[in-house]
Structure formats: C-alpha cells, structure tokens
Structure 1
Amino acid sequence: MISKIELLNEIGIALSAEKNSQKVLELILDGAKKLTNADGGSLYTLNDKDELVFEIVSTDSLDIHMGGTTGQSIDFPPLPLHIEGHDNLSMVVTSAVLNDNTINIHDAYHADGFDFSGTRKFDENTGYRTKSLLTIPMKNHKADIIGVLQLINSTSIDTGVVVDFSSEDQKLAESLASQAAVALTNKKLIDEQKALFEAFIKLIATAIDEKSPYTGGHCKRLPELTMMIADACDKDDAGALKDFKMTEKDRYELMIAGWLHDCGKVTTPEYVIDKSTKLETIYDRINTVNARFEVLKRDAKISMLEKQMTARETADEQAFKDAERDYEALIEKLNDDKEFISVANVGGEYMAEDKQERVREIAKYKIDDCEEERCNFFNEDEIQNLTIAKGTLTNEERQVINNHIVVTIKMLDQLPFPKHLENVPEYAGGHHERMDGKGYPKGLTRDQMSWPARMMGIADIFEALTARDRPYKDGKKLSVCLDILGKMRLDNHIDPEIFDVFVREKVYMEYASEFLTPDQIDEVDHSKIPGFSGD
C-alpha cells in the first residue's frame, strides 16, 4: 500500500508537469492500471452533447493500444447519456455518470441491470474474458463530472489470475481520478486561454491587414516566413549559427512576436497606409491636375484664335499660320507633360533628379485660380509630393509610417507577458533595425540584437519585396528579390549569417511555393547573388 501511495504521488506530479493533453490522458489510464494491476481500461471525456467520447483504450494482454499518442484512432461511436429523452442506464460508464457513483463489478457476465452484449461480442472475437470492472466518474474541483475512468480485470500479482478490484484499489483509483480530473480541467483552461490569446492576436493582425488593401496579408505571411527562417537556422550546424537551437517554447515565442510585429499600425492613419499615388489625399488630386491641363489647352486655343483674328484683320497670312503652328506645338507639349505627370504620380522604386526638375519646370506654368489671380500650376505641397524619389510617401508621411514600430514597442512593453513570452517585445520591436546601427527606432547594432529579431528583419524585407499588394509596385521575381537582399547584406543592413542560411537552404523557395505566383518564381543562380558566401 505504501508503494502504491508513492506511485499515486508520482503520477500526480507527472500529471501536473505534463503539457500535452493526449499524454495527460495516457498518464491517467496507465497510472490507474498500475495502481490496481488492471489488464485493461478505457478513458472517456464528456462532450457538450452529453456523450462520452472514447479517448484511450488499452488492453495489455491483447496488445491493444488506441487513442492518445499511439497514432491509432478509435472508431467506436460516442456513448449517449440519454436515448430518446430517457437516461441511458444500461451501460456501466453512462450509469456511473448519471448516478454520480463508482461502480465495482465482480463479474461482467453475471452483473444485473447492465447490457454487456457488446462486451461479450468483443470477447468472442478476441478470445478475451472480461470479468472484473471498476468504473469511476471523474469530477473536477467544482464537482462537475468531466469524464469516466474504467478499469478491466484486476490481476493477482502472485497468481496472475483475474480478481476483484479491492476496496483499497477503488479508493486509490478514485483518488487518482479526482487528481486527474483537476489536472484535465486545468489543462483545458490553459488551452482555452491560450487559444483565446492566439485568436485575439490574430484578430489584431487581421484588423491591421484589413485597414488597407495594400498591406493585406502581410501580418499573416510574415510569421510564416519568420518560422521558415528560424527552422532553417535551427538545422544549420555550421558557422555562427551552429549553437542556435530552438525549443518549442522558443518557437512559440517567436511565432507570437511575428503576429504582433506590426500591432502599432492600428494607430497609423489610413490615408497614409492607403496612399497609392503621390497626389492622393482624400482623393487622387491627379484629376484636378488633369483639369488644369485642359484649362491651359483651352487658354492656348483662345490665344491662337485671337492671334488669327488679328492676322486676318491685317491680312498677315504668315502670322495666321504661325499662330496655328505654335498652338499645335504647345498642345503637343502639354499632352506630353500631362502624361509625364500621370506616370510620375504613380510612384516607383526611384525617380531621377532630372525628372524631379521637370516637375518643377511644369510647376512654373501660370493658371488662374478660383479668384482669377495668376498663380503657379503646382503649389508647394504638390511639388513636394510629385518629386518624391521613392514610393508615394513624403518624408513626413514616411515618419508617420515608421512611427508604427515605436507604438508597437510601447504597446508590447505595457503587456504583462509571462516568462515564456518575455522576449516578444524585443523580437517584434527589432525588425526595422540594421546591423550597422542605422535602423530605427533604437539604432541597435547587430551585437545588440538577438538572432530571432534579426531573422524577423530579413523576413519583413523579403515579404515586402515579393508582396503583390503594394500601392506602387508589383511583386518582384525571386532573382530580383535575392539580388536586392544580397546588396542589403553587403550594405550591412541585414545579418550575413542568416542571409547565407536563407539562400543556402533555399528558404526563399519554400516560401515562394506557398505564397508567390508562378510568374514570380524564376531561376535563381546562387553564384550571382551579391554577398552570398557560397553553398
């Protein structure tokens, strides 16, 4: 009895420590079998439909082990507590729940009040003989029944003969069932809280993606890519990463950080996120600019007609022709300028200085404003926007965008993360830092950043390069993305070791096969990638 009590304590400690739900169920049944020297048993859980669901089935002498972590599914249907509105008291396990009591049967073949036809059929098919049964409802700390533990055929240690479950066996099994029910309830509560936590995080990420059609999916794709990079680095046994290994705790922490990396964008104004052209505010001001060009062309035509009328009055045929020629030349120039401004408004990877200067020259055209006063064709704000060298955002608007990471860090620092998630703010807050300390918001250097934070930085850049939903560009081909990433590695922007793993292990291809379109997946020559140290 002392040894059994010690075993009971060991099982209780194991139940408290185990995190895998299926393993917890196995510990309960296996522990109960050891305590009572039972040959077999089953464990059921009570679902929301008032049914007992088979979770674990085990019979040692028949080498039957199903459910749990065995990989063998249990095809038995759930057992209803009620049939056609009546209590199902014909089955031992359902009766134990409905009557809230332990049932100790000496011989199943001679027990009154229960239907053992299924048991007899099983025995006939397997040559087994089900005799003693101990069925215990599992109640949690609130006295709610959450399942049933059933043990079969207690066996004498001395003779090996099937015997009854003793009163001591019953008390020990009931004690274990009580501990097990509490452990299962706590595990379920933890799992539910974890599920709620993850759902809330993904809800925030989805809300951020839904704010703008131009970043839709970014918050979902980045965690995936980050974990691909982390897994590749974990498997790498050479170089600086040979000692980098990730536990399940580490992986979960990094995944959560990935989902939260842009949470600060909830405060970023939509007009900045959604600015798809340089002149866009509430609406795209290119339409107003086009109307101004039409006004210029109208004024040019009026000027031509006035000159031609004067030429006719003076019978100056040459002046008449010159007026028409000058008009046509001006219209051609205005149309060309209009097309140029329309293209410039779209934005792109780079706008040359001569094109910016052309915008400033066009701005010198004179036009009447609403008060019929002569003014420049573009105001200063329009000039500033149309001469944006990269993308569609002004420096001020880019600062608004960049501020999201400051807000992200501020938000995450205020959350009471448990110990196993304590690094989430550092991982999520570092994806815009650079290895040379020229990143933002803290200007951290490589040595000041963790490996996971550096991994997320590469993931953020590569996702942005390949994304097809940005306002001023299409998703780039793989070869182009790796060329740009390689140049960033040479520029000390990203971590060189992680970059080498990213290329060598073809993480880019793993990501591409899942998230890129076929036209983006072109042939990649590793020897032509800048900064790559080789396979």
Structure 2
Amino acid sequence: MEPMSGSAEDYLARVEKLNQLGIALSSEKNFPKLLEEVLVGAKELTRADAGTLYTVTQRNTLKFEIIRTDSLNIAKGGTTGVEIGFPEIPLYSDGVPNLEMVAPSAVLQGTTINIPNAYEAEGYDFSGTRTFDRNTGYRSISFLTVPLKNHDNEVIGVLQLINAIDGETKQIVPFGMTDQRIAESLASQAAMAMTNRTLINDLEKLFESFIQTIASAIDDKSPYTARHCEKVPVIAEMLARAAKESTIGDLKHFDPTAEEMNEIRMAAWMHDCGKVVTPEHVVDKTTKLEAIVDRTRMVALRLELVRKEWEIEQFKERTSATEGRGSWESEKGTQDLDQRLRQLEEDVEFIRKINKGEDFMTEQRLDRLREIGQKYWWTDGAGERHPLLEEDELYNLSIPRGTLTQEQRRIINHHVVVTKKMLSALPFPKHLRHVPEMAGSHHETMNGTGYPEGLKREQMSIGARIMAIADIFEALTAADRPYKPAKTLSESLKILGFMKKSGHIDPDLFQVFMDQKIYMEYARIYLSPGQIDEIPLESIPGYVAR
C-alpha cells in the first residue's frame, strides 16, 4: 500500500475538514450551491488548482455544472451566475462507449482514474485540454477523476480535479493516494447529498404539480370561475413581497423566508379546494330560476300557454256569437285581448329582468312579483289549473340580490369548511404546516363577522389576511362571473376601500396594496384594457396616500 502523503497533523486536519464538509452538504438546500461546495471543498482538501464537476443527464451526456481554475481566476457555473458555455460531453458515440475521454470513461467504468501527467498518458484523448492550455498558457498535468455514485451504485456525476499543488514547493505534483481516498470519500458523501436533494426537489415539484392540478380541476369545473385558483396566488405573491418590505404596523415584523413565501403560495393555490364538493348547479347558477334544470324556460312555456288559452278563449267566444249562441263585440273583444297581452308582455319582461339578480328586490317589486304569480293561471294536460309560479320559483325570484338563496349561499360558503378539513387531514411537512390555516381563513374578516369560525384580526396569520384580499380583488375584477359585469379598477378599489373601513380586510395590507400599486401590477397582465381606468386616489375610501 502506498504511504499516505503529508504529516499526520495535516491528514487529521483534512479528515476534520472532510467531516465538516459532509455535515454542510447534508443540510444544503440550494442545489447549485451544493455542487459548488463539493468542488470547492474537494479542491481545498486535495490542494488542486482547478476542477470541474459534471452531472450525468438523461440524455447520456455529461453536463458542466461548475468550473474553477484558481491560477487563471476562472469561476463559472454554480452560484456565480457566469454561464459555462461548453457543450455537453456524450457518453456514447454512435452507440459506442466514449472511453477515450477521461470523464466519460470514469462514468462508464464506475472507477476513479488518477493520471499523474496528462502529457505522458496513453489511451486517453486530451486534445481539448491541450487546446485550452495553448490558448491560455496553462499547463494541465495531473488529473484525478472520481465518479459520484448514489445508493443504487448508479453514477450520477463526476468530480474531476486538476493539478495538485505541493504545499511547500508550490509545484504541480501527482495526486497521492491520500488525496484520492479523501476525494472518493467526499464524492460518496456528495452523491448522497445530491441524491437526497434531487429527491426532495422532485417530491416538491410533484406535490406542487398535484396541487395545481387540483386547482385547475376546480377552475375547469365552472366556466364562470375559470382561472380563479390560478390568479389568486399571483395577487397573494405580489402582496406578500410588498408586505415583506413594509414597516407599517404588524408588517414591520413580517419577514418571511423563501420557504414561508412558498407556503403562502401553496395556500393560495389550495384556498378553494373544498369546492370539489360544491354542486355545479349552485356554483354555475346564472339566474334566480336556474336549478339542476333551468326553470326559466318552464316559466316562459307556461306564459305561452296562458297566451294561447286567451286566444283560444276569444276564438270560442267569436265562434259562438257567429253561430248565434252568444254575443260578440268584435272591437271591444280585440281591444281587451290586446290590453291583456300587452300587460302579459310587461310582466314577462319584469320576470326576465329580476331573474338576472342584478337589481335589488324592493318591497314594491316583491309585491308585483307576488301579484304576477297569482294573476296568471295555466291548464295542464289533465285539465288541472296551476298558478304561473310555483312556491319554490316565487321564493327564488324573491332573492334580494344576486341569484343564490340563503340555503344555496350556505352551500357555497361551506366550501371553506371542507377546504380546512381536507388540508388539515394532510401530513404537511413542517415548512408547510400553516397552509390549512391560511387557505381555510380567506373568508374571515378583521372584525369577526366572517366565516366559518368568526375569527378576528389578531387570530389570523398575516398569510391568511393576504389570502382574503387576494381572493376578494380577483373576484371583483373577474370578467367571467354570471351574476355581475366585470368591474373597473376604480370600482373594485372603492369596494375594497369600503371593506377596509368596515373592518372586513386588513388595514395595513390594504395600505401596502394601494401604496405599492399591486392592483396595477396585476391589472396590466390579467385585466382587459377597458377595465383599467383612471383612479383618483383621493376617492378611494379608507386610503390616505403616503
């Protein structure tokens, strides 16, 4: 066995450094930084002047991840932001293993390759290296190339170190056996850390894709709330970033980490997941009479039957008079029918108008509706007589505003309870543990009048308060809701201002939303040009420009 190079103290110091590096690698979450620490640490442990770290791709190539050459001040890849620019190295050429190049050979054979002098080595193609040397004046001599193997003994990368430097003479020397063993030990730890980080990253991507798939399915469930689950996270992220920089009130203590920002984003994506149990005929109810079937047409058909009955009745009276069985005043009879038909048309138009739910049902309108319901009767096929409007239809048409009854509104509101129940049942990791609270509280208010729990401001996290504003603003500016036309920015902000004044939304977050013009940042991307109007800030309730 070749003796270990250097003193015992030097060896122990390097082992200690190796241990420290292994601990650091196991906790590093940033993948490019992880790779950088591997190469820089390996160079330091083996006193190498240069080095390259490659990863094996699914394309059977080696990708340059990090390049360092201290004597030439070259630092590319990793966290430097400097693009490497070198093409990937193929592991195979026309199906033939690329054993002529050192790095691919180390991958394909799964063994460490230690070359004392590249200029004297045989069996490997160093033409690219020599071209680099000629162009830079560098001299690439000693090479230590170590494959990085995961727990399945699969090579996932290559660590290549160049030009070991003697600590005393500062001359280029071959990599000794101690250097090789330390590099191989580090490569083993690095491969494990890389595999773990890749696995965690892949699981996080899978989880996020799963969440977005659920959100997309909810959006697709109703054509009238399409992209709501997609757009709320956009507003939430914009507001969270702005709040992070604010010093207003509670926000001066709001300094979320990258993981906490991601937690807010995840909660925003999942805030309406409970709508999977909400009946579509309630979510999509565009008129007051709409149910599982649209009863608007049924009422229209009954009105047509009423019209036909009147015309048949007049025809019978006229026929009887002609046959001498009664009297018929032609002009008066026609006028009476015309008057009744005109009144019928007016009542039909009234029902059509209130059925949309756009106007508030005053007591006068309710009286007229009840009168219409009893004024007109129709006859079914069995000869039985029925009022124009059934009791349930009259109840639905009497909805004060909008298209939902109190019972249907409770069904819609129940989605928040389901959201919180569903998310609370999931074993979220520690960095996502607040997702159920944030997502399930987006209909709570600062004054405790919200639902489902009637929470007050101090009982809600800032993330939950952000969610509430994001949800409201998206709904106000949405152009695809059946029960209302799309509102302009100024209209939406006025409503938001009134909600701030009435204690519905967080005042500090509203101030940031206005000060930082989050509304305009969102509008430029998601609103139509017709919705982006002039906004006199002094007219926004509850807002004082700073």
Same fold by TM (over 0.5)?
Answer: yes
**Secondary structure of the corresponding residue to residue 242 of structure 1:** helix
- Which residue, 73, 87, 92 being the options, matches 1:63? 73
**What does residue 403 of structure 1 align with?**
414
The answer on whether the counterparts of 2:164 and 2:174 sit within 8 Å (CA) in structure 1 is yes
- Supply the distance in 1 between the matched residues of 2:282 and 2:192 (Cα, whole angstroms): 52
- Which residue, 278, 283, 297 being the options, matches 1:268? 278
Give the 3 Å change call, closer, same or farther, for CA 420–349 of structure 1 in structure 2: farther
Q: How does 1:289-368 map to 2 (within 5 A)?
A: 289-308=299-318, 319-348=329-358, 350-364=360-374, 365-368=376-379
**CA deviation profile, 1:441-482 (whole Å, cap 9, x unmatched):** 111111211111111111111111111111222221001111
**What does residue 5 of structure 2 align with?**
none
**Is the aligned partner of 1:36 residue 2:46?**
yes
The answer on whether the counterparts of 1:307 and 1:323 sit within 8 Å (CA) in structure 2 is no
Give the 3 Å change call, closer, same or farther, for CA 390–95 of structure 1 in structure 2: same
Return the offset for 1:142.
2.1
Counterpart AA for 1:369: D
**What does residue 459 of structure 2 align with?**
448
Q: Which moved more, 1:493-502 or 1:124-133?
A: 493-502
Counterpart AA for 1:403: H
**Secondary structure of the corresponding residue to residue 110 of structure 1:** coil
**Is the aligned partner of 1:471 residue 2:487?**
no
Return the offset for 1:12.
0.8
- Supply the distance in 1 between the matched residues of 2:73 and 2:136 (Cα, whole angstroms): 11
Q: Which moved more, 1:32-41 or 1:71-80?
A: 71-80
The answer on whether the counterparts of 1:254 and 1:424 sit within 8 Å (CA) in structure 2 is yes
- Which residue, 59, 62, 73 being the options, matches 1:52? 62
Give the 3 Å change call, closer, same or farther, for CA 49–377 of structure 1 in structure 2: same
The answer on whether the counterparts of 1:38 and 1:153 sit within 8 Å (CA) in structure 2 is yes
Return the offset for 1:393.
1.4
**Secondary structure of the corresponding residue to residue 145 of structure 2:** strand
Return the offset for 1:507.
0.9
Runs of 4+ in 1 over 3 A off after TM superposition: 303-317, 349-353
Corresponding residue pairs, total = 534
TM-score (normalised: structure 1): 0.97
- Which residue, 489, 512, 515 being the options, matches 1:504? 515
**What does residue 388 of structure 1 align with?**
399
**What does residue 484 of structure 1 align with?**
495
**Is the aligned partner of 1:176 residue 2:163?**
no
**CA deviation profile, 1:172-207 (whole Å, cap 9, x unmatched):** 111101100000000000001101111111111011
**Is the aligned partner of 1:251 residue 2:261?**
yes
- Supply the distance in 2 between the matched residues of 1:481 and 1:152 (Cα, whole angstroms): 63
**What does residue 219 of structure 1 align with?**
229
- Supply the distance in 2 between the matched residues of 1:493 and 1:351 (Cα, whole angstroms): 25
**CA deviation profile, 1:91-130 (whole Å, cap 9, x unmatched):** 0011111221111111111100001111111111111111
What is the RMSD computed on CA atoms of the aligned residues? Answer: 1.6
Structure 1 gap segments, 5+ residues each: none
Return the offset for 1:314.
9.7
**What does residue 3 of structure 2 align with?**
none
**What does residue 98 of structure 1 align with?**
108
Return the offset for 1:79.
1.3
- Supply the distance in 1 between the matched residues of 2:530 and 2:159 (Cα, whole angstroms): 57
Q: Which moved more, 1:417-426 or 1:177-186?
A: 417-426
**Is the aligned partner of 1:160 residue 2:191?**
no
**CA deviation profile, 1:57-86 (whole Å, cap 9, x unmatched):** 111111111111111112212112211121
Structure 2 gap segments, 5+ residues each: 1-10
**CA deviation profile, 1:24-69 (whole Å, cap 9, x unmatched):** 0000000000001111110011111221111111111111111111
The answer on whether the counterparts of 1:307 and 1:320 sit within 8 Å (CA) in structure 2 is no
**What does residue 289 of structure 2 align with?**
279
**Is the aligned partner of 1:417 residue 2:437?**
no
Counterpart AA for 1:479: S
Return the offset for 1:533.
3.2
The answer on whether the counterparts of 1:42 and 1:55 sit within 8 Å (CA) in structure 2 is yes
- Which residue, 427, 449, 474 being the options, matches 1:438? 449
Give the 3 Å change call, closer, same or farther, for CA 349–409 of structure 1 in structure 2: farther
Return the offset for 1:255.
0.8
The answer on whether the counterparts of 2:224 and 2:481 sit within 8 Å (CA) in structure 1 is yes
The answer on whether the counterparts of 2:248 and 2:508 sit within 8 Å (CA) in structure 1 is no
Q: Which moved more, 1:194-203 or 1:47-56?
A: 47-56
Give the 3 Å change call, closer, same or farther, for CA 315–15 of structure 1 in structure 2: closer
Give the 3 Å change call, closer, same or farther, for CA 315–181 of structure 1 in structure 2: closer
Return the offset for 1:152.
0.5
Return the offset for 1:354.
2.5
**Secondary structure of the corresponding residue to residue 80 of structure 2:** coil
